[in-house]
Structure 1
């Protein structure tokens, strides 16, 4: 990596305070790598490095810094530096920063902005948290349907420098309602004297400013766009969302789902930026719930105490049986949660999923059960037991139990995400540990019920 190659030279120049040479090097280093180099420096040293950067690059570097390092620098920025950084940030980047700032810095940062920038940030902050309105930027290029291509291209040249992207040009009516969007190459290749209307098909997709940011991720992916328009409740064009914005959202959503599926509350910040006390707070709740859930497993086993006393051999196979069910349930839950999150399936498909998972669970359980019966019988004979009716029935008990537990794991793991979604909860909370705990209790009941049925009067 470029950072690893630069770090020794970077550290040496800082040690020698050779700011001229350092400035020359930093101008050729990508902003994301400069940010990574600054992360490990003390704020007082990082601020000196920051002064060596050009204004626009300094703003770019700031957007790549972790929230903790960003706050550290804001604390020691002069009013001039603060104003320069804020004025060079994109509107959506300013909003993202304001959402993360501690209270004592919020007003200082707001005061550093120009009046128009401050009003714009306040407007964007007026949208609900996690909404597309917080993510969008109002820097885009729009044209009118009665303009000629020549006139439109001149307009793009004049105003395109301040836009976040000119890959897509938006067509609005006299009331600012969005009526179409055109790719730039359509204008470039068109007859200069033709009108915008001649290129329009009035077919377009747009996001609502009040939709969840996750919808923006899905829409840009579905329609393979680099940017999508955002409209208000009246259909008026208020901004655009670009693909680089939604990449961060997609990463955050995926991270949150993975943490929820691991059986814990999602972290509010990066792992490296989260304190031990905060980490414990996020994890202890689910651990307590899962611990109490395991008490149900103990209670279930205690119910069959007499059967365990009569045939101690049965206890050997308990971990294998309940873990098979837990593994099957975790697989099913993961598949369904991901399918729901990518809109591969929706809540109305639960009955189709139930049929599929019942069939696949029965097949998987049958294969595992058959293998389990053979392996258990061979294992018992290897231990010196003679081939007998009791041995066959014990092996069959394990095999049949595996069929039931794997089938139940498949069904519970696939249906719980639908149930959670129906209740308005994130389906990711049907985590692997949660499903495993549920299957543990049920697995014990299935196992000993089959044992009492097949082994009564033979081994028990």
Structure 2
């Protein structure tokens, strides 16, 4: 990349547009995208220097903030070319992110049919499959033979998003089946399409949430899936490249939420500082106010702490162990839910596993905690003559708190999903804070019972 940047900088300095054009067009699309990231001030020059087809393909893989900056810098004719050549699904994705006035101006660059198509796609819910689909596909009739189908593909296939899959429809546009192109190529030319149909159709509804479609693609190993309305009319297709983008966005959003912040709408280095602070401060205030309850809990047991000050030494150990086990459990369950491995209906199986694993983890930490106190008594009198009671208290408290943390961390995401909320909001910091407060109550309740203070 360093050599590439140096070569480009030299060409820019000499002002040789022909060599710049030839050099950029010889690079991989991903290399040009990296160059735009390295030299953002020259992004518009790079796009103008590329052939139209390659410029469109580079523009498609750029993140939205970069696309938006490019549209402001490019001359009107180049913007019109890009918008016209963008596939309908990518164009819709771009329009959905832009300001309304900007979209109105860009739509004017489109031919009447494309303009109507863009407005129709923008009419679907923001996070629905309808926003992802493209109407560029190849559809055939079941009474056609392979010869006619191949002739149809030659004529219209170049305008299709993909010809890996051919769609079979009836006279009213109802989707009947989908057939992979290899099945058509490997049979006798006189074969009827109806003979190739297996009726194992998988289709998406135009109003399906985008997030759910990710798992459909993953489970069925498809490069494209058809999109229909409630009457099974074929409206378009969704391809795997769009799903990969959505999966990346969902993954990024979930990771940010698990970290205890609102999802960022822009790359970290591009988002304005005040907006970044705003995204983070809300959760921090909630967590701060929640953690203040730990002081309330300790105040409730003030007399017990005064009688056995040694108990206060283990407060950080106790609450951090519970918070850690809760964070582990919530992260595992959120990830499993995102991959479709766990659903709300599996709550009892999850609870049963976490009860067992929480007990085993708690017993392990409890034994370590007890022996840590025992070993210290061999060299110090810090725990006094009743060190066995202190060790037993700490050991049993760890068992209870780690078990509680595991249960809270695993059940909270499932509860939020049941309520129709995003499970990722049950972030690790949130679970840790919840377990901190309740962990203190468990700890001192056990201490009162064992040490009679």
Q: Is TM > 0.5 for Structure 1 vs Structure 2?
A: yes
**Equivalences, count:** 453
1:89-128 residue pairs with structure 2 within 5 A?
89-128=86-125
Cα distance between partner residues in 1 of 2:170 and 2:163? 19
Deviation of 1:437 (Å): 0.6
1:26-425 residue pairs with structure 2 within 5 A?
26-41=24-39, 45-384=42-381, 388=385, 390-425=386-421
Contact 2:65/2:266, CA 8 A, preserved across alignment: no
1:18 matched residue in structure 2: 16
Deviation of 1:379 (Å): 2.1
Deviation of 1:423 (Å): 1.4
Deviation of 1:159 (Å): 1.0
The secondary structure found in structure 2 opposite 1:273 is: coil
The secondary structure found in structure 1 opposite 2:378 is: helix
Contact 2:310/2:383, CA 8 A, preserved across alignment: no
For residues 194-217 of structure 1, what are the alpha-carbon distances to aligned partners after superposition, in whole Å with 9 as ceiling and x for unaligned? Answer: 100111111110011100111221
Which stretches in structure 2 are left out of the alignment for 5+ residues? none
Which stretches in structure 1 are left out of the alignment for 5+ residues? none
Q: TM-score, normalised by structure 2?
A: 0.97
For residues 418-455 of structure 1, what are the alpha-carbon distances to aligned partners after superposition, in whole Å with 9 as ceiling and x for unaligned? Answer: 11112111011111011101110111111111111111
Q: CA RMSD in A?
A: 1.5
2:444 matched residue in structure 1: 448
Deviation of 1:35 (Å): 2.5
Contact 2:383/2:390, CA 8 A, preserved across alignment: no
Cα distance between partner residues in 2 of 1:375 and 1:330? 24
Contact 2:373/2:387, CA 8 A, preserved across alignment: no
Q: TM-score, normalised by structure 1?
A: 0.95
Contact 1:327/1:436, CA 8 A, preserved across alignment: yes
The secondary structure found in structure 1 opposite 2:303 is: helix
